[in-house]
Chain A
Amino acid sequence: MNKFLKVAGIFASLALISACASTGPDVDTTDSADTMVDTGPSGPVPGTQADLEQSAGHRVFFAFDQYTLTPEAQSTLAKQAAWLKEYPETRILVAGNCDERGTREYNLALGARRAEAAKSYLVSLGVDAARITTVSYGKERPIDPRSTEAAWSLNRNATTTITSTGA
């Protein structure tokens, strides 16, 4: 039931996107319709990384030099926890990342804090701690290479990756 609702939600947002797209000139609306048909019913394979990313979101973001979880981060992690309960054999790695506005060594420590903050929240929501490993990449693995506020915001994150589906 829960899953059905999510799928329906995705359909709804796709419909919105196509609606927006169709307002522009020279847009062939049949393309949007095709996209809906293609991705809709197939979607990501349940229990996979793609499914986690689509159903819950695999990244939570932090403020500068902070490791406290924002309400948005808590909401994403709650969805991750729910998803992990649906796939109880799944093991994950939570990686803490930082922007480049700090020293390498401090950022390694800060990344560890962010990974641990995300892990602790998942555990507090009932996910077995043994299923979660953590790692800090400091400022060494930016998603966005640009030297801009937008890039730094993206690069300050804790990223959840499935390491084993238990299958």
Chain B
Amino acid sequence: MLVVGILLIVAVIAWIDLPRLWRKKQKKDLSVYLILLLIGTGLSIAEGLNWDIPNPMDWLIYVYRPVGEWIFHQL
């Protein structure tokens, strides 16, 4: 049900912009658009079904926590 709902929303969104992009034949615009739409759909479905998605914030914490701790230690 949830997947159907998300796909429906994506279909509405594609209906707004896709025909115009298709007609203009701007390959680069179209490919960036489709890639982003695909990522968005995949991410929404994965999040909606509670799959285990790698969290970019964990990577940021991994990189920046030592820096942050060092700064606060200095003060």
- Whether A and B are associated in the same complex: the answer reads no
